[in-house]
Chain A
């Protein structure tokens, strides 16, 4: 082990976490929040009896789930400025920036996966609950908002969290946009100091610890929810 220098970790740890991990967690949080909200809307659209609502939602989800995430990241980064310009009618592409672009991309992409989870959650609620809501005089939105979605969400929390752990790992793909996320930061130090093995080992360890801890939390939650039911 004489050739290795693990001090590089100690020297760079502040930078790795202050810059890198902060961005990784921010991106994960924003994309999870946005993805769950947008995903829930998509799930409600897919379950609608109106074809003009369910078909676009189904198409969107299937499209997103059939394309590699890396490709979507590229696409959005290069396309969003043009689409933005087209929407507001600007003559030149609107500079969105790598960070904003990555947040939008991950939100849109993850929404497809969250929507499948929420769809299963909504379908798991007994028909009678909807009837009971309607029978009280609640309209569709009130029945959804007060009766169905709170229960669907509660039942699906473990799976939503599991998907968020995957999202947490997937955010490392933003390196293709030269964003300094945790892996990006580790990579930069590794190249600068020529300590590739040490840094990549350390990065793997950090991803492992965070993901494993969260998985454990999911397991505890699952047991708790099983009791409530």
Chain B
């Protein structure tokens, strides 16, 4: 059974179709990179996986649980799916420690001490233990994004979703975030990553999905995608972002 199963998903904003019959799977331990031009529906697609974006047609199953079933306990499911956002979305009114413990205490029912211990473990892992008492606004973008990854990890997720995690970062901070993500991938974390970082895709991904105008145009292994993309649109896209 795949970890994430996306079957014929379509979504409309009014009459405007943003996703058209998207179908793909993410196997356990697999890292897939979703890329494509802006406005192609990558971010929308990844947000449908933990039901942050509703969709009108199709099914999505995460670990065998149907996301779009009204009977599904969404908070419980979302707690098991880690998510990292383009703009970090740390809670600015809470300290780093409070950011790391909030979900663990409120959702998983851990005691504050347990939550703090676990949070500090992951904060240490992303190399920011010395920042634990600061507020998010006092950290750089790269540091905030690493804290956001630690926050997601401290919930012990079964898979991780990354929605353009480096797009809002200054160039010199991109690598510190990608390094953390690469480390996660090496440990066997199931990951779905929306990104324009083709170097990262080349190093880490098992498969690459290329989207254009709401559809999945190409769904290929890394070697196939970078070697000989079948669709003309993907070839153009690669030519544009790799030629410099």
Contacts and interface: CB of A to CB of B under 8 A. Distances in A.
Q: Are A and B a genuine interacting pair, yes or no?
A: yes
A69 B52 CA distance: 43
A69 B37 CA distance: 56
A154 B89 CA distance: 17
B78 A136 contact: yes
Contacts of B103: 136-138
Contacts of A128: 85-87, 89
B137 interface: yes
Nearest to A150: B93
Choose among B74, B83, B92 the residue with the greatest number of A CB atoms under 10 Å from its CB.
B92
Given A136-B151, A228-B137, A151 B89 contact: no
A154 B83 contact: no
B76 interface: yes
Contact of A137 (B90, B93, B155): B155
Contacts of B83: 131-132, 135
Interface string A115-149: 00000000000101101111111110010001100
A136 B85 contact: no
Nearest to B108: A137
Interface residues of B, number: 29
Contact of B155 (A136, A142, A150): A136
A131 B78 CA distance: 11
B128 interface: no
B4 to A, nearest CB: 15
B220 interface: no
Nearest to B85: A128
B47 A146 contact: no
B87 A126 contact: yes
B102 interface: yes
A135 B78 contact: yes
B166 interface: no
Nearest to B161: A135
B75 interface: yes
> Which DSSP category, helix, strand, loop or mixed, fits chain A's interface?
helix
A149 to B, nearest CB: 10
Contacts of B102: 136, 138, 146
B93 A154 contact: yes
On chain A, which size bracket covers the interface?
A: 20 to 34
Interface in A54-82: none
Contacts of B107: 136-138, 142
B50 interface: yes
B92 A151 contact: yes
A228 B83 CA distance: 27
B173 interface: no
A133 B155 CA distance: 13
Nearest to B51: A134
A131 B52 contact: yes
Interface string B108-145: 10000000000000000000000000000100000000
Contact of A139 (B47, B75, B137, B155): B75
A131 B93 contact: no
A147 B78 CA distance: 17
A142 B85 contact: no
Nearest to A129: B89
Interface string B66-92: 000000001110111111011101111
16 contacts: A128-B85, A128-B87, A128-B89, A131-B47, A131-B85, A132-B85, A132-B89, A134-B78, A136-B79, A136-B103, A136-B151, A137-B107, A138-B75, A146-B91, A147-B91, A151-B92
Interface of A: 126, 128-129, 131-139, 142, 146-147, 150-151, 154, 228-229
Top 4 nearest A-B pairs by Cβ distance? A137-B79, A136-B103, A132-B89, A137-B107
Given A131-B52, A131-B85, A146-B91, 11 more contacts: A128-B89, A131-B47, A132-B85, A134-B50, A135-B52, A135-B78, A136-B79, A137-B78, A137-B106, A137-B155, A147-B91
